[in-house]
Structure 1
Amino acid sequence: MLQDILAALPLGLFLAFLIGPVFFILLETAAMRGFRAALAFDLGVILADIVFLCVAYFGTNQLLLRIKDDPALFLFGGTVLTTYGIIGFLKVKKTSLNPAKFQIQKLKGKAYLGIAGKGFLLNFINIGVLGFWLGLIIVFGPSLDMQPNRLITFFSTVLITYLVIDIFKILLAKKLNKKLTPTRVAMAKKIISIVIIVFGTVLIFRGLFPNQTKKFEPGVEEIMPNP
């Protein structure tokens, strides 16, 4: 067991520093909404990862390999991400003349479930994440003898390591709270919206031109599947 844990730690560290839309939204949430809100968002993201891991483990390899490269799913996920980013950008532009709308407010009660759901959905619509976890099972599974107990230990360590590193990122981002002004908040929201639009566009392009993007697949896979 100890050997499996030690083998999983570097992978968890690597995942914690992958750059993707979830990464930027996590930092924004920490800076603007506080620690508990960012943690709720992160737990939602990890829940989506757990769902993908279960699907990758219990599904047949042939079906999953076909699903993960289905252009229609990339189009769907990319459209949702792009639409989300455009709406966020326009909302900021529309209200940018009203600084009061950007005052930092803490979430209360059931709102934490909503922000956890947001984290889950933003991660879940990225079909590249499913392909990523499936790839890890294919790569590391044989060395773990595909034993359920060893797989659970390995991937639990990966996710726990990822969560611990994210907690430190949240604490660091939270310190930006005191330096935020209405103008800076508006600018940050616009930048994050643009980042989401870019990632969504990449997914759409991958869905529309699957053959052309296959040669760039290693680089795309490294960036996109940020759990």
Structure 2
Amino acid sequence: MIHDILLAIPWAFLLAISIGPGFFMLLETSITKGFKAAFTLDLGIVFSDIIFILIAYFATNQILSQLKDNPILYIVGGIIMSVYGLISYIQLKKKFNEKMEDDEEEDIQKNNYLGLFFKGVFLNIINIGVLGFWMMIIITHGPKLEMNPLRIFIFFTAILVFYLLIDIYKILLAKQLKHKLTPNNIYKIKRIISIVILIFGVFFILQGFFPKEKKMFTNKLLPEVSVAK
């Protein structure tokens, strides 16, 4: 059991430092809304990870391969992500132009935790790269764990627990910047996050339209690099 837990630590670290929409959104939420809000968002991300893990575990290898390489999933996920980023960017600009700085600061303190939780779920679910990441782990590490349900449970639980602990550390570090930011800077950060999400969406759409080029690119890199959480 100890060996399975130790085996999970590098994967948890990789998952926590991978750069993607969830990574930037987590830091932005910590800075603008505080620890509880960012932690709630992170719980939503972890919840969607659990869904992906269950899909990877219960599906057959053939289905896993079809899902992982299906360009339609990349296109649909990329479109959803791009539209979300674009709408967020437009809404932020309108909101900032309409409200005074005092109103903006007041809004920052009002946190819809249920909404933040589902926001985390949504951001992770539409990121098809995360599904590919969990599929890759279950395919490569399942045999090493002898496909033993208990060992697999301990292994994936350890990944998520260590991942959450590392994210808590990231949240606390980002939170230190909160008192140094003006409403105008917060607004700029949110717009940058929207642009980042839009860029990742376009990236996934291109992966869907050019699957051969994607395979050539990923074959030159380690599989872990493509997580982009």
Bucket of the pairwise TM-score, normalised by the shorter protein: over 0.9
- Shift in Å, 1:126: 1.4
- Shift in Å, 1:222: 4.3
Which residue pairs with 1:105 in the alignment?
108
CA distance in 2 between partners of 1:216 and 1:46 (Å): 28
Summarize deviations over 1:10-66 as a string: whole Å, max 9, x none.
221121111111000000111111111111100000011110100100011111210
Runs of 4+ in structure 1 displaced over 2 angstroms?
A: 92-102, 104-108, 217-227
Change (3 A) 1:53 1:157: same
Which residue pairs with 1:31 in the alignment?
31
1:183-222 to structure 2, matched below 5 A, reads 183-217=184-218, 222=224
- Which blocks of at least 5 consecutive residues in structure 1 are unaligned? none
CA distance in 1 between partners of 2:169 and 2:100 (Å): 30
Question: Does 1:56 pair with 2:56?
Answer: yes
CA distance in 2 between partners of 1:212 and 1:143 (Å): 31
Number of aligned positions between the proteins = 225
CA distance in 1 between partners of 2:158 and 2:5 (Å): 6
Which residue pairs with 1:180 in the alignment?
181
Question: Does 1:158 pair with 2:159?
Answer: yes
CA distance in 1 between partners of 2:38 and 2:162 (Å): 17
Question: Does 1:42 pair with 2:42?
Answer: yes
Which residue pairs with 1:75 in the alignment?
75
Partner SS for 1:145: coil
Identity percentage of aligned residues? 46
CA distance in 2 between partners of 1:50 and 1:216 (Å): 28
Cα RMSD (Å) of the superposition? Answer: 1.7
- Which blocks of at least 5 consecutive residues in structure 2 are unaligned? none
CA distance in 1 between partners of 2:225 and 2:116 (Å): 23
CA contact (8 A) 2:129 2:228 kept: no
1:74 partner amino acid = Y
- Shift in Å, 1:174: 1.1
TM-score (structure 2 length as normaliser): 0.92
Question: Does 1:12 pair with 2:15?
Answer: no
152-161 or 86-95: bigger deviation: 86-95
- Shift in Å, 1:134: 0.9
2:172 partner amino acid = L
CA distance in 2 between partners of 1:176 and 1:39 (Å): 16
CA contact (8 A) 2:61 2:139 kept: no
Partner SS for 2:152: helix
- Shift in Å, 1:140: 1.2
211-220 or 112-121: bigger deviation: 211-220
TM-score (structure 1 length as normaliser): 0.93
CA distance in 2 between partners of 1:67 and 1:26 (Å): 27
- Shift in Å, 1:83: 0.6
